[in-house]
Structure formats: C-alpha cells, structure tokens
C-alpha cells in the first residue's frame, strides 16, 4: 500500500531556528496484510508540540525523549481510526490514540500500544484528546496540583506565561477552578490577551511586546505572585520571579524561549534572580507529567467533565494536510494538525 509520510530532512542545529525545510514529505509503502496483534489505522489528527524541537537535535538533552533520525518518519501524539484489526481488543471503526504515532497517512501499529478513545467524553471532539483532554491538559492540571500548591480560599494570585498557548490557556482556567482568586496571563498580541480575558476567564492579560511588563505586573498583581505557571523562561520569567511572594511556587512546565539555544534544562537563572528565589524560598522544581501517569485516568475524567460542563474553554489551530505539518512545529493557541 502506498502512503505519504513526513521524515526529518535536516537538523536545525542546537542553536538554530527550525524551518519547514527541515522536514520532507515523501511517498512510501506499508504491508498489504496485517499480522496477529496488529491494526491498520488511518491517521486523523497529529499533535505538534514545543518539546519536538528537542527531538530535532542529535541529543535531546532528556533521557525520556528519543531524537528523530534523519530520513526516518517523525512521530508524536496522534489519533486515528482502525481500518482493519487482528488485535482482539480493537475493532474496525474504533478511534485510538498513541504518544508515538508516526507522521504518515496510514500505518500498521501494535494494537497493545494503542489506547481506545470514547468520543462522547469530549462531546465528539476527538482532537481534544490531543489537547485539553490529553497530555496537554494533563500537564496543566497535574502541574498545578502537584507543584502549584493551590488552596481554595487562600487568596492566591497565579501568573501564566505563554498563556495563549495550548497548555497556558488551560492552566489559567484550571488555576481558577482549583481555587486561585486572581489569574493573570502573559501573551504576545492584543488579540490573544483579549481572548484570554473575554473568553477564557483570565482577570487580566499582558502583551509582553508592549509597555513595561514589570510595571504592568505590579499593577495587576498588587499582592504579589503566589503561583507562576512557567511556559517560556528567559526574561519574562525573570520579571515574574522578581515579583513573587515568600514561599511561593513556580510550576516549571516549559522554557520555550530557550529551546533554540544549547543550554541545560531547566536553564539556570541569572544570579540576581536565583538570589531572589532562594531568599524567598520559591520552589522551582522540574515537572514531568509522565511521572504522574498513575493519576492519568482520574485526571482525564476531570478534564472531560469540565469540558462537558463548559467550565474549560478550548481553542485549536487546525492545519489541513500532512504536507503542512513541518512548518507548524510551533503554534500559537493549540497543537493539533488535522489530516
């Protein structure tokens, strides 16, 4: 059977910015027959996430991330429908997902490595299982619960950087649902800031490309910052940390401003900011959602319940066609490519 697939064509270099030409769309073939224990699936959705930048390097810098190999098919979170099954727990027409889904139109996969999906849990929006009800939502929810120390009635203020992204937009809403009394987002355009406030329930949002971020933070968080959901690192994070309270908490989710630089993860703080962190006893521990998979099932059900109740608003960026996926390695509001 002839299929299309996307392979890694070249590496941008540890300090380079990825470009669409780093990927190549090509034709390939897969077997016409499915073996015992396997299923043939048609790809419906693929997820494009910031962590994939690390996989473009020869060394990802992480023991849990495998680098993509040159001229080999890329992979990541994906959803598809079973076309043929020789695996007893899956049947034709079932919707399935995997965190290592190949970037190709049709694939033959080991059925035991696939998770069956229940579309009704997300009101039929299958793509949500790659975002709000998937690893992205889990990262936001478990990050807040495990590292944020949010307590209802404690009058806590949360700041979210990269707040208009897939994870950040969920984190701000979840912070509110978990008990934060004030949530402030930081994003890169007036339009994104408007959406955060008017649609997603943030109390305020700062366009970091306009005006003095430190001054705006001080005005919008007069009692200081108690919880910081950090998606970006760099100068923005240094500014937020300088206004954090004693015994406050940083949820170290991502450092996207540093991903095109050859630095350790998490990147070290500048000496003056590190001094503030230590003096104020601010926690800043690496958070990896894969370490909390024993809480996955209950957490996904919680996310789905909030979606069904309209308490969790979701935005997605959909890009049609496998050939366009390479140019979308970083996206603004969500992380899904529709095939």
- Residue 149: inside a domain, yes or no? yes
Q: With the CA atoms of 47, 52, 56 and 62 taken in that order, what torsion angle do they form, in degrees rounded to the nearest 10?
A: -140
Q: pLDDT tens digits, the chain, 339 residues: what are they?
A: 999 999 999 999 888 888 889 999 999 999 999 999 999 999 999 998 888 888 999 888 777 889 999 999 999 999 999 999 999 999 999 999 999 999 999 999 999 999 999 999 999 999 999 999 999 999 999 999 999 999 999 999 999 999 999 999 999 999 999 999 999 999 999 999 999 999 999 999 999 999 899 999 999 999 999 999 998 888 999 999 999 999 999 999 877 655 555 555 677 899 999 999 999 999 998 888 888 989 999 999 999 999 999 999 999 888 888 877 755 543 333 344 445
Do 77 and 147 reside in the same domain of the chain?
no
Location of structure tokens 């009692």: 223
Do 182 and 206 reside in the same domain of the chain?
yes
Residues whose CB falls within 8 Å of the CB of residue 239, separated by 6 or more in sequence, listed in order: 213, 214, 217
Do 149 and 263 reside in the same domain of the chain?
yes
- Residue 143: inside a domain, yes or no? yes
- Residue 126: inside a domain, yes or no? no
Q: What is the DSSP string of 85-97?
A: E-STT--TT-EEE
Report in angstroms the alpha-carbon separations of 25 from 20, 33, 94, 106, 234: 11, 24, 27, 14, 34
Q: How far apart are CA 187 and CA 169, in angstroms?
A: 10
- Residue 130: inside a domain, yes or no? no
Neighbouring CB atoms inside 10 A of 302's CB total 19
Do 82 and 222 reside in the same domain of the chain?
no
Report the candidate in 220, 209, 219, 214 with the shortest Cα–Cα distance to residue 242.
214
Do 330 and 190 reside in the same domain of the chain?
no
Report the candidate in 214, 141, 147, 139 with the shortest Cα–Cα distance to residue 184.
214
- Residue 310: inside a domain, yes or no? no
Question: Which tokens belong to 214?
Answer: 């430190």
For residue 264, the model assigns a pLDDT of: 57
Q: Which domain holds residue 52?
A: 2-121+324-335
Do 252 and 280 reside in the same domain of the chain?
yes
- Residue 309: inside a domain, yes or no? no
Quote the pTM value: 0.87
Identify the CATH number of the domain in which residue 12 sits: 3.90.180.10
For residue 61, the model assigns a pLDDT of: 74
Location of structure tokens 């950040």: 168
> 45 with 336: CB under 8 angstroms?
yes
Number of domains within the chain: 2
For residue 13, the model assigns a pLDDT of: 87
Do 202 and 264 reside in the same domain of the chain?
yes
For residue 262, the model assigns a pLDDT of: 57
Do 142 and 281 reside in the same domain of the chain?
yes
For residue 100, the model assigns a pLDDT of: 94
Do 60 and 181 reside in the same domain of the chain?
no
Identify the CATH number of the domain in which residue 245 sits: 3.40.50.720
Report the candidate in 99, 111, 95 with the shortest Cα–Cα distance to residue 42.
95
Report the candidate in 268, 15, 254 with the shortest Cα–Cα distance to residue 135.
254
- Residue 129: inside a domain, yes or no? no
E strands of the chain, at which residues? 2-8, 23-29, 38-47, 75-85, 95-102, 106-110, 115-116, 157-161, 182-187, 204-207, 225-230, 244-252, 283-286, 336-338
- Residue 91: inside a domain, yes or no? yes
Do 67 and 166 reside in the same domain of the chain?
no
For residue 282, the model assigns a pLDDT of: 97
For residue 168, the model assigns a pLDDT of: 95
Do 91 and 203 reside in the same domain of the chain?
no
């Amino acid at each position: 059977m002839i299929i299309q697939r996307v392979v890694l064509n070249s590496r941008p270099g540890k300090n380079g910015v990825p470009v669409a030409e780093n990927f190549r769309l090509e034709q390939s073939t897969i077997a016409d027959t499915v073996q015992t224990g396997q299923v043939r699936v048609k790809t419906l959705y693929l997820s494009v996430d910031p962590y994939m930048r690390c996989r473009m390097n020869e060394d990802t810098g992480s023991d849990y991330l495998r680098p993509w190999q040159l001229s080999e098919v890329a992979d990541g979170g994906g959803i598809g429908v079973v076309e043929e099954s020789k695996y007893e727990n899956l049947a034709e027409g079932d919707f399935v997902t995997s965190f290592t889904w190949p970037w190709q139109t049709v694939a033959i996969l080991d059925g035991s490595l696939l998770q069956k999906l229940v579309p009704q849990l997300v009101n039929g929006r299958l793509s949500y299982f790659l975002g709000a009800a998937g690893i992205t939502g889990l990262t936001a929810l478990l990050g807040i619960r495990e590292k944020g120390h949010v307590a209802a009635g404690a009058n806590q203020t949360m700041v979210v950087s990269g707040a208009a992204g897939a994870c950040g937009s969920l984190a701000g809403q979840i912070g509110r649902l978990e008990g934060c009394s004030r949530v402030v987002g930081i994003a890169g355009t007036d339009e994104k800031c408007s959406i955060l406030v008017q649609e997603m329930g943030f109390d305020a949002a700062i366009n970091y490309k306009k005006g003095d971020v430190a001054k705006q933070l001080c005005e919008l968080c007069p009692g200081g910052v108690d919880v910081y959901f950090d998606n970006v690192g760099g100068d923005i994070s240094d500014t937020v940390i300088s206004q954090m309270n004693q015994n406050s908490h940083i949820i170290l989710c991502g450092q996207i401003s540093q991903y095109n630089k050859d630095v350790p993860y998490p990147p070290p703080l500048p000496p003056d900011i590190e001094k503030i962190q230590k003096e104020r006893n601010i926690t800043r521990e690496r958070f990896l959602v894969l370490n909390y998979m024993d809480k996955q099932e209950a957490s996904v059900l919680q996310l789905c319940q909030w979606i069904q109740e309209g308490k969790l608003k979701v935005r997605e960026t959909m890009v049609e066609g496998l050939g366009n996926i390479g140019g979308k390695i970083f996206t603004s509001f969500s992380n899904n490519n529709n095939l």
